[in-house]
Structure 1
Amino acid sequence: MIRSGTPWFDTDGNRIHAHGGSVIEVDGTFYWYGENKERSTPGSGIWHWGVRCYSSRDLVNWEDRGLIIPPDQNDPESPLHPEQLLDRPHIIFNPRTEKYVCWIKVMTKGSIQRSTVLTADSILGPYEIVRTWLRPLDMSAGDFDLVVDPHDGKAYYYFERVHSEMICADLTSDFTDVTGYYSTHFPQPQPPFVREAPAYFTRNRLHYLLTSGTTGYYPNPSEAAVARSYHGPFDVLGDLHPSDESRTSFHSQISSVFRHPGKKDLYIAVADRWLPGYLDHGARAHQAFIEHFAPGRDSDEPMEEFAHVDTSIADYVWLPIRFDGDRPVIEWRDEWSPDEFEDA
């Protein structure tokens, strides 16, 4: 059974570390990968310890496949150094080059966020860096998602233009850069109203983007939007967790949406519960961030609330998405199984 909001362990009994992650299916096996936070304890100075991957045949039992992108411990200037603020790896397969392409964002001081791109012949690596410190479209590029059209093989890159708006950019044919063609969506004046953590999926020829507000590790109300093309325009549908009275997306932040290829209409929202110890503080945290980003305040000044954030004990929330017509809705379930859903 899938049990959200509790510690998840691999088949060896170790806590799973695949944060800000995604699931990709290859030849009947599911691969769940993400940020390895096992050493990211308060005061350690370690933001990440590479990108870790797990494999499963049933989405319930996960085998640790190790670090598919290990940290670079020797070069402090490398984007893969453990002290670099590496986040949210996303991997897509390029049918033309037959390469797996991984994009990673790296935050730096002054709200500048840049990208590193790696490629591999196998989902499990080894991955080789092909671009570092990339500023797509000469923009500071934050949280993002990658999409490959299953019909023509063209790829798209949805990213938060930091503290501003959401961008949809066409990728080059090798998926390692942007072409220069892009569209803009959901402009906002400042955090916490700016949308981040885009998670894309398509259903019934409609294109969906799930996003969250910009409140750091604290959760906030999610938002769904829908369009008839990759570049929109998008119609905002509102919070897709309407039954959550705390207004914190069940105290989680969605990192990706995975469509189960073997089930009929099963879409799974993959989310992180970054602060499992702050379950009763959602409303207070949201207000704190509104005040934190108030005009005239230095938004780079650290907040006291984050002094003791321990991402090494962050949990996960995996929930199925149901649809009211074309509107996605996520409801809490203590436990559930993919076997409950009809085979495709």
Structure 2
Amino acid sequence: MTGQRYTSFHPGKEWLDTSGKPIQAHGGSVMEVDGTYYWYGENKEFTTPGSGIWHWGVRCYSSTDLYNWTDEGVIIPPDEDDPTSPLSPQRGMDRPHILYNPHTEKFVCWIKVMSGSIQLSTTLVADSILGPYEIARRDFRPLGMYAGDFDLVVDPHDGKGYYIFERVHTELIVADLTDDYTDVTGYYSTHFHHGRPPFTREAPSHFHRAGREYLVTSGTTGYYPNVSEVASAATIHGPWEVVGDPHPDDDSRTSYRTQVSSVFKVPGKDLYIALGDRWLPDYDAHGSEAYDLFDEYFAQIEAGAPDTGMRELTVPDTSRARYVWLPIRFLDDGQVRIEWHDEWRLEDWV
């Protein structure tokens, strides 16, 4: 079967690869290597309600135009034999991020693995973006902290690496990476101290532009969509200043029913694309519903109720999740906008 040939983006619609199958790269990112784009993320093809399968490894696709994607296979396969492995399909592996290290000439992948409020990190290395990857450090706590959603950053000037992560249910941490990018040095800064979900900022998505650092984050409401927030800073360690909601025209207060997973700058253009997941394609409630649900849930925990884990608040069929890629617009007053387009083309942006 041959997939449809795309000449534009259709946010929220089913996106097929060149063989005609739905793309499985959730919580994903795009990077360019030697003129080819690679889109990788969580393979959720078997993650259906009741399956007991959280993921089926990290899948990767290649493209030369950002519209049409060829399946390159599962570049970090699940470990079906060891239930304690961070790559076991039953463990909550989420949000892989890959960096190229110019010093070691290695590709370095970080993953988080969830078990309720316990969230551990694992790093892997490879000679090629497509692998094979070998575990460098397994099930560790960066800085002695439980690390949740995160992003990885390389300074384009000196190649220094940074790890930006949600200290689970409390704040965001910006930590310096070791020279090999597989661990943190111990130097870090703390930001966005909001106490607990749903107010804690998660899903940090970083990008540089015009001498400024930017972060797009979401509130903490599991798979329910909520209001995004943009912050900017002169340096990656801050201080960070909140710019505001990049989706002010979205009356549903759900970031167009999307959570941004990463931001990709298109080479040769002043074009930044917010790569988002629509985890619940059939969900259309107002964003206040999720905030109220999670506020009540975590208020009960503060009062002494047991924490059964945010995962139990929703049991979605993430194998059906869609993608929402939208261009970012920058206003003269410093505001950042991610506006809705039913269809859009790279060619429409200078």
User: What is the TM-score normalised by the length of structure 2?
Assistant: 0.95
Distance 1:211 1:307 in 2: 20
Q: Is the 8 A contact 2:227 2:287 kept in 1?
A: no
Match of 1:285 in 2: 290
**1:340 to 2:345 alignment:** no
Match of 1:164 in 2: 170
Alignment CA distance shift 1:180-1:36 (3 Å) = same
Instruction: Please give the alpha-carbon distance, in whole angstroms, between the structure 1 residues aligned to 2:312 and 2:56.
Output: 24
Return the offset for 1:72: 0.4
Q: In the aligned structure 2, how far is the partner of 1:78 from the partner of 1:308?
A: 23
Larger mean CA deviation between 294-303 and 21-30 belongs to 294-303
Aligned-partner Cα distance in 2 for 1:30–1:217: 27
Residues 154-205 of structure 1, C-alpha deviations (whole Å, 9 max, x = no match) = 0000000001100000000000000000000001121000000000001010
What is the count of residue pairs matched by the alignment? Answer: 340
Report the Cα offset of residue 283 of structure 1: 2.7
The aligned amino acid for 1:80 is L
> What is the distance in 1 between the residues matched to 2:17 and 2:331?
34
* Alignment correspondent of 1:105: 112
Residue 125 of structure 1 corresponds to which residue in structure 2? 131
Report the equivalent of 2:243. Answer: 237
Partner of 2:5: none
Give, in angstroms, the shift of residue 305 of structure 1.
Answer: 7.7
Q: What residue in structure 2 maps to residue 329 of structure 1?
A: 337
Match of 2:56 among 23, 27, 49: 49
Output the aligned Cα RMSD: 1.3
CA distance, structure 2, for counterparts of residue 299 and residue 222 of structure 1:
29
2:319 to 303, 312, 315: 312
Deviations 1:39-85 (A, max 9, x none): 00000000000000001111100000000000000000100000010
CA distance in structure 2 between the aligned counterparts of 1:143 and 1:184, rounded to whole angstroms? 15
Aligned counterparts of 1:160 and 1:2: Cα–Cα separation in 2: 30
Question: Does the 8 A contact of 1:199 with 1:256 survive in 2?
Answer: yes
DSSP-derived class of the 2:296 partner: helix
Unaligned runs of 5+ in 2: 1-7
Q: Provide structure 1 residue ranges, at least 5 long, that are not aligned to the other structure.
A: none
CA distance in 2: counterparts of 1:89 and 1:100, whole angstroms: 12
Contact in 1 for aligned 2:109/2:124 (Cα 8 Å): yes
Distance 1:170 1:60, change over 3 A: same
Secondary structure (helix, strand or coil) at the match of 2:274 reads: strand
| Greater than 2 Å deviation, 4+ residue runs | 280-283, 297-308
1:182 aligns with 2:203: no
Q: Is the 8 A contact 1:17 1:52 kept in 2?
A: yes
TM-aligned CA deviation for residue 212 of structure 1? 0.3
Task: From the superposition, tell whether residues 303 and 97 of structure 1 become closer, same or farther in structure 2 (CA, over 3 Å).
Answer: closer
Q: Which amino acid aligns with 1:134?
A: F
Aligned: 1:27 with 2:34: yes
The equivalences for 1:63-78 within 5 A come to 63-78=70-85
CA distance in 1, matches of 2:9, 2:274: 12
Which secondary structure does the structure 2 equivalent of 1:58 belong to?
A: coil
In the TM superposition, residue 247 of structure 1 has moved relative to its aligned partner by 0.5
**Structure 2 CA distance, aligned partners of 1:43 and 1:155?**
39
Partner of 2:256: 250
Residues 180, 309 of structure 1: alpha-carbon distance in 2 compared, 3 angstrom cutoff: same
| Residue of structure 2 aligned with 1:211, choices 204, 214, 217 | 217
**CA drift at 1:6:** 1.2
Q: Which amino acid aligns with 1:341?
A: W
Query: CA offset at residue 301 of structure 1?
Result: 2.6
Distance 1:118 1:174 in 2: 11
C-alpha spacing 1:287/1:124, structure 2 compared with 1 (3 Å): same
Q: Distance in 1 between matches of 2:216 and 2:316?
A: 25
Q: CA deviation at 1:335?
A: 0.7
Partner in structure 1 of residue 155 of structure 2: 149
- TM-score, with structure 1 as normaliser: 0.96
Task: Check whether the contact 1:4–1:318 (CA below 8 A) recurs between aligned residues.
Answer: yes
Q: Is contact 1:293-1:299 (8 Å) kept?
A: no
The residue identity in structure 1 corresponding to 2:161 is A
Whole-angstrom distance in 1 between the partners of 2:192 and 2:98: 25
Partner in structure 1 of residue 4 of structure 2:
none
Q: Percent identity?
A: 65
**In the alignment, which residue of structure 2 is the partner of 1:268?**
273
Give 2:243's aligned amino acid: L
Q: Which residue identity is paired with 2:205? A: A
C-alpha spacing 1:103/1:304, structure 2 compared with 1 (3 Å): closer
User: For 2:20, which of 10, 13, 29 is the aligned residue?
Assistant: 13
**Corresponding residue SS for 2:50:** coil
SS in 1 for 2:294: helix
Query: Hey, what does 1:134 align to over in structure 2?
Result: 140
Give how far 1:14 is off.
0.3
